[in-house]
A and B are shown apart, each in its own frame.
Chain A
Amino acid sequence: EAQVTQNPRYLITVTGKKLTVTCSQNMNHEYMSWYRQDPGLGLRQIYYSMNVEVTDKGDVPEGYKVSRKEKRNFPLILESPSPNQTSLYFCASSFISTNYGYTFGSGTRLTVV
């Protein structure tokens, strides 16, 4: 089944403790992206990647890192999480074209206390 898989689905952590949210897709998509979703603010892009070893900042990159060592994986790294990073996170992937929509993962609900 074609899908984007995120792990974990739920995570509660403490301020300052490094964490990684994994994202993997099996559709051979070149483009991958991370979003956060907060009430009243909709979906905001954190980072994106056009292909292996090519990453760039989205609208809200502060406090996050990403890497794209393989085409299928695009982990999101929070080196020192803070409470304002409590949010619902989505990974998405797509072919490089304006004529394709994104496929989204099921989301990771992160709480930083």
Chain B
Amino acid sequence: GESVGLHLPTLSVQEGDNSIINCAYSNSASDYFIWYKQESGKGPQFIIDIRSNMDKRQGQRVTVLLNKTVKHLSLQIAATQPGDSAVYFCAEKRVMDSNYQLIWGAGTKLIIKP
């Protein structure tokens, strides 16, 4: 079936290093992708998005890369800080049976080592 999935369930990174979280999707018709951050006890928080007509988008300390050829999405966090500890979800937003649905990955837990 169609899905958005994550390669690694847990990622440990040294504080100050860069983090790269990966995501694969299977629907080549998808045209909008979002990364969310969920801290313990809180709702998912929007980080950055990218449309399919782009291959890179940068925010503050974050960069999302989209490779449509291999249907792969990644989130890069520069100079990882303790406050970046969270579960990161990629999501694909598309219309399915008139529902603007988010198709979620299972999430990657980012652990920051001091």
A-B complex is real: yes
Q: Given that A56-B99, A104-B43, A106-B43 are known contacts, is A99 also in contact with B106, CB under 8 Å in the complex?
A: no
Q: Are B94 and A102 in contact (CB under 8 A)?
A: no
Contact residues, B13-57 vs A (CB, 8 A):
31-32, 34, 36, 41-46, 49, 51
Chain A residues positioned under 8 Å from B105 (CB to CB): 42
Q: Which residues of A contact B49 (CB under 8 A)?
A: 101
Asked if A75 lies at the interface with its beta carbon under 8 angstroms from chain B, I say no
Residues of A near B91 (CB, < 8 A) are: 101
Given contacts A42-B105, A101-B49, contact A106 B42 (CB under 8 A): yes
Q: Determine the distance from Cα of A4 to Cα of B43 in the docked complex, in whole angstroms.
A: 10
Measured between beta carbons, the chain B residues less than 8 angstroms from A103 are 46
Range of interface residues on chain B? 20 to 34
Nearest-Cβ distance from residue A40 to partner chain B, whole angstroms? 8
Assuming A4-B43, A99-B51, what are 7 further A-B pairs, CB within 8 angstroms?
A42-B104, A42-B105, A43-B102, A45-B101, A56-B98, A105-B43, A107-B41
Of residues 68 through 98 on chain B, the ones whose CB sits less than 8 Å from some CB of chain A are: 89, 91, 93-95, 98
A43, A45, A56, A98: the one contacting B94 at CB < 8 Å is A98
Chain B residue at minimal CB-CB distance from A56: B99
| Nearest residue, chain A, Cβ from B47 | A101
Q: List 18 A-B contacts (CB under 8 A).
A: A31-B100, A42-B106, A42-B107, A43-B104, A50-B99, A50-B100, A94-B100, A98-B94, A99-B32, A99-B51, A100-B93, A101-B49, A102-B46, A102-B102, A103-B46, A104-B43, A105-B43, A107-B41
Least distance between A27 CB and chain B CB atoms (Å): 13
Provide the A12-44 mask, 1 if CB < 8 A to any CB of B, else 0: 000000000000000000010000000010110
Give B residues with C-beta under 8 Å from A: 31-32, 34, 36, 41-46, 49, 51, 89, 91, 93-95, 98-102, 104-107
* Chain A residues whose CB sits within 8 angstroms of the CB of B99 once the complex forms: 48, 50, 56, 58
Taking a contact as CB atoms under 8 Å apart, the answer to whether B44 and A104 are in contact is yes
Give the size range of A's interface with the partner: 20 to 34
Q: In whole Å, how far is B75's beta carbon from the nearest beta carbon of chain A?
A: 14
